[in-house]
Amino acid sequence: EIVMTQSPATLSVSPGERATLSCRASQSVSSDLAWYQQKPGQAPRLLIYGASTRATGIPARFSGSGSGTEFTLTISSLQSEDFAVYYCQHYNNWPPYSFGQGTKLEIK
Amino acid sequence: QGQLVQSGAEVKKPGASVKVSCKASGYTFTSYGISWVRQAPGQGLEWMGWINTYNGNTNYAQKLQGRVTMTTDTSTSTVNMELRSLRSDDTAVYYCARVVGALDFWGQGTLVTVSS
């Protein structure tokens, strides 16, 4: 089973600044990587799929990059509504799926 | 845009079973599989399994094998997830989500509480 590891566990950033979140797979998942945003009391929302394609309605300040085992989610200029928990998930040669443990993005 | 609507919260005793439903609308039900994901209080996301809504084929997470069953009802565009022999560590919010490779939209979640 592929293990997904996210870093850091918590990231403190000021509004308007850039945030960079990392996700590493224990073996190659090609570009079969998604990012989700989850706010308290809400279901996760798909942000990025195919490692770099924004889902419908996702603002351009969200971008994804990487392939193989190393991936990055970048939020270019943080807005107040972006403070949330972010999860990566692979879907290469699934099932099973694997999620990372999450990165909490908090206001500095 | 499609939608998934789940059944309401449940409270169960240890050893009991729970069934959670997930009704799809706004898209062709049998064209996409459904996955179930759960989230214990304050914890991350845990994939539970997947069902092919066209033919009913399933694949379950190894740790839940033997306790979980997912079924599909194409007449009502509904997927059901049953979890048996409940334990306290099954207390979680249970989500269904449409599979397009990634999980492109999710139900609102169903809180299942296991308590004596």
Query: Measured between CB atoms, does B101 come within 8 Å of chain A?
Result: yes
- Residue among A32, A43, A100 whose CB faces B108 most closely: A43
**pLDDT above 80 (res A47):** yes
Give mean pLDDT, residues A35-45.
97
CA distance B30 to B23: 12
**pLDDT above 90 (res A93):** no
pLDDT of residue A8: 97
pLDDT of residue A102: 98
Using 50, 70 and 90 to split pLDDT, how confident is the model at A29?
Answer: very high
3-class secondary-structure state, position A43: coil
Residues in chain B closer than 8 A to A89 (CB atoms): 45, 102-103
Least confident segment among A72-86, A90-104, B28-42: A90-104
Q: Which amino acid is at B51?
A: I
pLDDT of residue A18: 97
Using an 8 Å Cβ cutoff, are A71 and A64 in contact?
Answer: yes
CB contact under 8 A, B45 and A89: yes
pLDDT of residue A1: 87
Give mean pLDDT, residues B69-90.
98
pLDDT of residue A94: 78
Give mean pLDDT, residues A58-63.
97
Give mean pLDDT, residues A7-25.
97
Q: Which residue has the tokens 């609308």?
A: B25
CA separation, residue B39 to residues A28, B44, B46 (Å): 26, 6, 6
- Residue among A44, A55, A96 whose CB faces B45 most closely: A44
Which is it for strands B110-114 and B10-12: parallel, antiparallel or unpaired? parallel
Backbone φ and ψ for B89, nearest 5 degrees, come out as -80, 5
Residue of chain B whose Cα is closest to the Cα of A92: B101
Query: What percent of chain B lies above the pLDDT cut of 90?
Result: 99
pLDDT of residue A88: 98
CB atoms within 10 A of CB B22: 27
CA distance A30 to A64: 14
pLDDT of residue A84: 97
CB contact under 8 A, A99 and B46: yes
Query: Measured between CB atoms, does B68 come within 8 Å of chain A?
Result: no
Using an 8 Å Cβ cutoff, are A26 and A73 in contact?
Answer: no
